Structure 1
Amino acid sequence: MRLLFLGDIVGRSGRAAVTALLPGLIDRYSLDFVVINGENAAGGFGMTEEIVTDLIDAGADAITTGNHAFDQREALVFAERQPRFLRPANFPAGTPGRGANLYSARNGANVLVCNVMGRVFMDALDDPFAAVDREVSACPLGEQADAIVVDFHAEATSEKQAVAHHLDGRVTLVVGTHTHVPTADHRILAGGTAYQSDAGMCGDYDSVLGMEKDEPVRRFLTKIPSGRFTPAAGAATLCGVAVEIDESTGLALAVAPLSIGGVLEQRLPPFWG
């Protein structure tokens, strides 16, 4: 089974890269399941329902978010009626939407996707370890779920690694999002769980985390905001993580980073052939 996870989409440039490239990747490499973090897709802050629909039409099977999940106020409404849209599972009780859901892959497998947010250097939320334990225990690998993907949206690498080791052997993939920079630590942990600290972003890397450079640089130099952050509009790099999954166990056989287009080094998973 082949799974692709794409990192945070930032602005129109990132959306255009995903909608242009993803359908071809699915067809050419026979991808069974695709997860995308889309929380910065609408002008860099949140998502609209139209964008959610466009990503689903392009091939996304699940769309995760993070601290910007509800920056677009309409998300408070459509989160309830869009089962492919996830917000962090450790948001407070009563938050609209869902933090995890079970989906059918193209090969007929059942894939649990769980979205959780960290607490180190982030907003104070419920315990992410308890939240992800609750979701995984309710739909265990090898029983209700044939594969489990955890998007851990967090700032601190230590917290991401701790969650991955805590879940090792119980889930297929733990992948970090939020920092918008792809890390070089992709690997399979001792128990068979694939891991990468951050998938990077789908956006213009000639930027500051996907935003036009002038305003962030000015704020660092002067400490005075002089305008809004605006997503950079140059050619985007499609960044993510690919996993080859053992269908008998739901654990990872191989994991590799992906980057296509833009200014980063171009990389395709070697096991895609």
Structure 2
Amino acid sequence: MRLLFLGDVVGKAGRVAVTEKLPGLVAALKLDCVVINGENAAHGFGITEAIYQELLDAGADCVTLGNHSWDQREALVFIDRAPRLVRPVNYPSGTPGRGAALIETRKGARVLVVNAMGRVFMDAMDDPFAAVERELDAAPLGRVADAAVIDIHAEATSEKQVFGHLFDGRASLVIGTHTHVPTSDHRVLPGGTAYMTDVGMCGDYDSVIGMDKAEPLRRMREKTPGGKFEPAGGPATLSGLVVDIADGGLATRCQPLRLGGRLDQVMPE
């Protein structure tokens, strides 16, 4: 199986890059499954039902979220009728939606997707480690799930690395989102789990983590309230990781993908 994970889609620029480039990538890279983090897709903050459907129509099999899950209030309602939309699993009991989904890909494979949110420098949440453990126990890799993806949406690199090592051998991929800057530590861990501390974003990198530069620069310097953050609208880079997965669900190889926009281009073989 070959899987692509695309980082946080930021605003219209990121959405346009996905809708224009993803269908061709599915064919060219012979992708069996695509997972996208969409928590910043609606003008940089949250997701709408129309955008969720737009990402599925472009080729996504599943869309994950994060700390901006509810910035668009409609998400509180439509998430219950969106089986391929996954919010962090460690929200408190009773939160709408689901924190994990066992999806069937276009070729019939079963892929478990789990979304978790970190607790270091983030809002107080339930224990993400125990929550992910429960989901992996419920759909064991190689028996119930043909592949398993964990999106750890977190600020601290150390917390993301703990996730990778803790679940090495029990997931096909542990991948970090949220900080919007791609790291260069992609690798397959000793137990067979592909890992990357942060996959980056699908957005305009001539920005401050996807936002137009003017307001972040002013706010950081002056430390006073001001205007709203607005997504940067220049050419976007698709940032992702392609993972080759063997029978049994463990990774054999992972390769970064960066396409379009301002970053150096990297295409997997």
Shorter chain as denominator, the TM-score bin is over 0.9
Name the SS for the 2:126 alignment partner. coil
State the match for 1:186 in structure 2.
186
Give the whole-Å Cα distance in 1 for the aligned partners of 2:218 and 2:198.
27
Q: TM-score w.r.t. structure 2 length?
A: 0.99
Contact 1:215-1:225 within 8 A present in 2 as well: no
Shift of 1:197: 0.2
Give the whole-Å Cα distance in 2 for the aligned partners of 1:29 and 1:259.
13
Give the whole-Å Cα distance in 1 for the aligned partners of 2:216 and 2:262.
20
Shift of 1:106: 2.5
Name the SS for the 1:140 alignment partner. coil
Letter matched to residue 238 of structure 2: L
Give the whole-Å Cα distance in 2 for the aligned partners of 1:156 and 1:18.
27
Give the whole-Å Cα distance in 1 for the aligned partners of 2:129 and 2:226.
39
State the match for 1:103 in structure 2.
103
Name the SS for the 1:107 alignment partner. coil
Q: Which moved more, 1:103-112 or 1:60-69?
A: 103-112
Give the whole-Å Cα distance in 2 for the aligned partners of 1:29 and 1:157.
29
Shift of 1:166: 0.5
Shift of 1:76: 0.2
State the match for 2:264 in structure 1.
265
Give the whole-Å Cα distance in 2 for the aligned partners of 1:153 and 1:102.
19
Give the whole-Å Cα distance in 2 for the aligned partners of 1:233 and 1:141.
40
Contact 1:34-1:60 within 8 A present in 2 as well: yes
Give the whole-Å Cα distance in 2 for the aligned partners of 1:256 and 1:31.
13
Letter matched to residue 100 of structure 1: A
Shift of 1:252: 0.5
Give the whole-Å Cα distance in 2 for the aligned partners of 1:159 and 1:226.
32
CA-to-partner distance for each residue in 1:161-180, whole Å, 9 max, x for gaps? 00111100000000000000
Give the whole-Å Cα distance in 1 for the aligned partners of 2:161 and 2:29.
29
Structure 1: give runs of 5+ residues left out of the alignment.
none
Give the whole-Å Cα distance in 2 for the aligned partners of 1:89 and 1:29.
30
Give the whole-Å Cα distance in 2 for the aligned partners of 1:157 and 1:27.
33
State the match for 2:46 in structure 1.
46
Shift of 1:214: 0.5
State the match for 1:21 in structure 2.
21
Name the SS for the 1:207 alignment partner. coil
**Superposition map of 1:123-272 within 5 A:** 123-246=123-246, 248-270=247-269
State the match for 1:72 in structure 2.
72
Give the whole-Å Cα distance in 2 for the aligned partners of 1:128 and 1:226.
34
Shift of 1:26: 0.6
Give the whole-Å Cα distance in 2 for the aligned partners of 1:92 and 1:52.
23
Give the whole-Å Cα distance in 2 for the aligned partners of 1:256 and 1:149.
16
How large is the Cα RMSD of the aligned pairs?
0.6
Shift of 1:191: 0.2
Give the whole-Å Cα distance in 1 for the aligned partners of 2:172 and 2:28.
23
Give the whole-Å Cα distance in 2 for the aligned partners of 1:106 and 1:191.
28
Shift of 1:225: 2.3
Stretches of 4+ aligned residues off by more than 4 angstroms: none
Give the whole-Å Cα distance in 1 for the aligned partners of 2:26 and 2:217.
38
Contact 1:175-1:199 within 8 A present in 2 as well: yes
Q: How many aligned positions are there?
A: 269
Shift of 1:109: 1.2
Identity %: 65
Shift of 1:107: 2.5
CA-to-partner distance for each residue in 1:16-71, whole Å, 9 max, x for gaps? 00010001111122110000000000010000000001000001000000000010
Give the whole-Å Cα distance in 2 for the aligned partners of 1:97 and 1:226.
34
Give the whole-Å Cα distance in 2 for the aligned partners of 1:220 and 1:160.
26
- The reply on whether 1:89 has 2:106 as its aligned counterpart is no
Give the whole-Å Cα distance in 2 for the aligned partners of 1:115 and 1:196.
15
CA-to-partner distance for each residue in 1:65-97, whole Å, 9 max, x for gaps? 000001000000001000011100000100000
Name the SS for the 1:242 alignment partner. strand
- The reply on whether 1:63 has 2:63 as its aligned counterpart is yes
